Amino acid sequence: MNRTEKFYLFHIIRRNIYYFIIRIIRRFQRIFYLKKDHKFLFLLSPPYCGSTMLNQLLSSSRNVSCNNNLGTREGQLLPKIKKIMFDSDRWDNSVKYPWDEIKQIWMKYWNFSKTIFLEKSTPNIIRADEIDIIFSPAYYICFVRNPYAQVEGIMRRNKQDANTAAEFAIQCLEYQKKNKSRNNTLYFSYEQLCDNPEEIVLKLKRFLPELNDINYQIKFTSHNFKSSKAMRMVNLNQEKINKISYDDLKIINSVFCRRKDLLESFNYRIIER
């Protein structure tokens, strides 16, 4: 076993120990707070759109419990859940999940002393109808980002070509167009959050009064290309878009121009260089 393999194994063991301890703690909390009224809050966001930052913002409230506080903070990456949800067909909307089983596992990770149970797994954007059947009362935050910035993230971090990344971004907007009109849903964009945090925080508080103590001035540890250190909320779109090459931009626009109407429905425009 080489050094990299040993490090990876140590990382896995450490995470599993952490999750085991969390489950033990949560078990005792359920005993004392089982009758407490809870609300399920699902963050519906495509990948590489700033959802980890938004999750951290929501989790700054003393009334919120996220089911996974590590990494990208997604419930689909928890032990046992990962085998069910995090596989190659997770973006196939014809695949049906055993939501009753998933809920039972997630309940082992939420803190029952909190009022709001927060979940953020990016493929949830294609399964909100199924989620709505199992979780009650369910509330949703529908979140989008400039698709050019999203495509840059997909290409850089997933090593995908421009055409595939652009097609995926359009598919995500199609799902979000439906999701933002759901009942019990608050819609806003990454740009609105970063550029006018006071306004969005006010909307969040009106949407769920339990969020009355969220703090947008915290430092965020969510992954970004700019720094590995925690940093304040900042709009990184332009810097990401500037990283897209001229040739890739032409390919992206060949996809986006076919759905110009969809982009404009979210107040996004075709970018020329």
- State pLDDT tens for residues 43-92: 999 999 999 999 999 999 999 999 999 999 999 999 999 999 998 899 99
- pLDDT value of position 116: 97
| Residue 229: inside a domain | yes
Residues 172 and 259 in one domain: yes
Residues 194 and 258 in one domain: yes
- State pLDDT tens for residues 224-263: 655 567 788 999 999 999 999 999 999 999 999 999 999 9
- State pLDDT tens for residues 92-119: 999 999 999 999 999 999 999 999 999 9
- State pLDDT tens for residues 130-157: 999 999 999 999 999 999 999 999 999 9
Residue 1 confidence class, pLDDT cut points 50, 70, 90: low
Structural domain of 150: 36-265
Residues 156 and 44 in one domain: yes
| Residue 159: inside a domain | yes
| Residue 248: inside a domain | yes
Q: Please, what's the b/e burial string for 167-194 (b: 16 or more CB within 10 A of its CB; e: otherwise)?
A: bbbbbbbebbeebbebeebbbbbbbbbb
- pLDDT value of position 32: 85
Residues 20 and 90 in one domain: no
Residues 21 and 71 in one domain: no
- pLDDT value of position 5: 61
Cβ atoms within 10 Å, residue 140: 24
Q: Please, what's the b/e burial string for 243-265 (b: 16 or more CB within 10 A of its CB; e: otherwise)?
A: ebeeebbebbbebbeebeebbee
Residues 153 and 45 in one domain: yes
- pLDDT value of position 221: 79
| Residue 271: inside a domain | no
Residues 214 and 134 in one domain: yes
3-state secondary structure 162-227: HHHHHHHHHHHHHHHHHHCCCCCEEEEEHHHHHHCHHHHHHHHHHHCHHHCCCCCCCCECCCCCCC
| Residue 273: inside a domain | no
- pLDDT value of position 12: 84
- State pLDDT tens for residues 153-211: 999 999 999 999 999 999 999 999 999 999 999 999 999 999 999 999 999 999 999 99
Residues 22 and 93 in one domain: no
- pLDDT value of position 230: 75
Residues 104 and 17 in one domain: no
Residue 21 confidence class, pLDDT cut points 50, 70, 90: very high
For residue 42, the domain's CATH number is 3.40.50.300
- Who contacts 38 (Cβ-Cβ below 8 Å, separation ≥6)? 110, 112, 114, 115, 116, 117
| Residue 270: inside a domain | no
DSSP 258: G
Torsion angle in degrees (nearest 10) through CA of 15, 77, 113, 60: 90
Residue 47, CA distances (Å) to 29, 51, 95, 192 in order: 32, 7, 19, 18
| Residue 260: inside a domain | yes
Residue 128: helix, strand or coil by DSSP? Answer: helix
Asked whether the predicted pLDDT for residue 7 surpasses 80, the reply is no
User: What H or E segment, with its residue span, contains residue 42?
Assistant: strand 39-44
Residues 22 and 42 in one domain: no
Residue 17 confidence class, pLDDT cut points 50, 70, 90: very high
Residues 80 and 181 in one domain: yes
d(C-alpha 191, C-alpha 41), whole Å: 21
Number of domains in the chain: 2
| Residue 156: inside a domain | yes
- In angstroms, how far apart are the furthest CA atoms of the chain? 60
Residues 101 and 123 in one domain: yes
